[in-house]
């Protein structure tokens, strides 16, 4: 259940909310001598200001490949290459775009809740199997089911908090 929440936080980190965030580049791979290489392995990524990321490649010959990978991604930002570094300027999203982002945040949140509930279902099936094998009494089974339900509720609430925080971040100007 905890991994589901961590996965949600990771997915939400890649959604850009108008401010520069290096985690939007986590899923981008660059074709480096024929091998797909993560962006972090080829360059240092830093924030120049609230809306600009600067990508400084360790090897200047990779500038074009980095620029090409960013253009090919679904990031929606056109990189600028000055011969030494690649800059990404994040524009302020429109109201409509922010609402779309909130919908995708809610979708990720719902997927995380489904994952948490799947863990609960698996645990409940395991308890039934243990009772059937005689390794668990009926009272112990009921107690275990209540504890698993409490955990499920706790992690679903945590998912809701993470989603609400991200929505607030997206909707703030």
Indicate whether 47 belongs to any domain. yes
Q: Do residue 38 and residue 80 come from a single domain?
A: yes
pLDDT at 160 over 70: yes
**Statement to judge: residues 82 and 122 lie in one domain:** no
Residue 8 within any structural domain of the chain: no
Element holding 147 (H helix, E strand): helix 138-171
Would 104 be classed as within a structural domain? yes
Task: Indicate whether 76 and 115 sit together in one domain.
Answer: no
Does the pLDDT of residue 113 top 90, yes or no? yes
pLDDT band, very low/low/confident/very high, at 40 (cuts 50, 70, 90): confident
Q: Kindly state the average pLDDT of the residues 106-112.
A: 93
Q: Which two tokens stand for residue 50?
A: 């609230």
Q: Number of structural domains, the chain?
A: 2
Domain boundary among 66, 89, 112: 89
Q: Are residues 114 and 53 in the same domain?
A: no
Same domain, yes or no: 83 and 121:
no
Structural domain contains residue 81: yes
Average pLDDT on 105-132 reads 92
**Alpha carbon distance 131, 122 (integer Å):** 14
Q: Is residue 33 scored above 90 in pLDDT?
A: no
117 and 132 both lie in a single domain: yes
**Which residues lie closer than 8 Å to 138 by C-beta, 6 or more apart?**
131
List the single range of 19-33, 77-91, 135-149 with lowest mean pLDDT.
Answer: 19-33
On whether both 112 and 62 belong to a single domain, the answer is: no
> pLDDT: is 68 or 15 the higher one?
68
| pLDDT (tens digit per residue) in 57-98 | 998 888 888 888 888 887 777 888 888 888 988 777 778 878
Select the more confidently predicted residue: 159 or 17.
159
Residues 109 and 66 in one domain: no
Q: How far is CA 6 from the centre of its chain?
A: 8
Query: What's this model's pTM, rounded to 2 decimal places?
Result: 0.65
Provide the residue range defining the domain that includes 58. 19-89
């Amino acid at each position: 259940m905890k991994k589901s929440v961590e996965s949600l936080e990771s997915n939400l980190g890649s959604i850009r909310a108008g401010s520069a965030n290096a985690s939007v580049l986590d899923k981008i791979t660059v074709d480096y001598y024929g091998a797909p290489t993560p962006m972090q392995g080829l360059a240092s990524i830093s924030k120049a200001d609230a809306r600009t990321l600067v990508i400084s490649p360790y090897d200047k010959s990779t500038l074009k490949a980095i620029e090409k990978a960013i253009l090919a991604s679904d990031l929606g930002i056109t990189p600028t290459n000055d011969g030494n570094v690649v800059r990404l300027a994040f524009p302020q999203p429109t109201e409509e775009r922010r609402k779309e982002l909130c919908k995708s945040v809610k979708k990720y949140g719902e997927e995380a809740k489904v994952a948490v509930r799947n863990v609960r279902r698996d645990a409940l099936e395991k308890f039934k199997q243990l009772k059937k094998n005689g390794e668990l009494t009926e009272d112990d089974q009921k107690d275990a089911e209540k504890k698993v339900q409490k955990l499920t509720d706790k992690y679903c609430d945590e998912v809701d908090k993470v989603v609400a925080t991200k929505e607030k971040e997206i909707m703030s100007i």
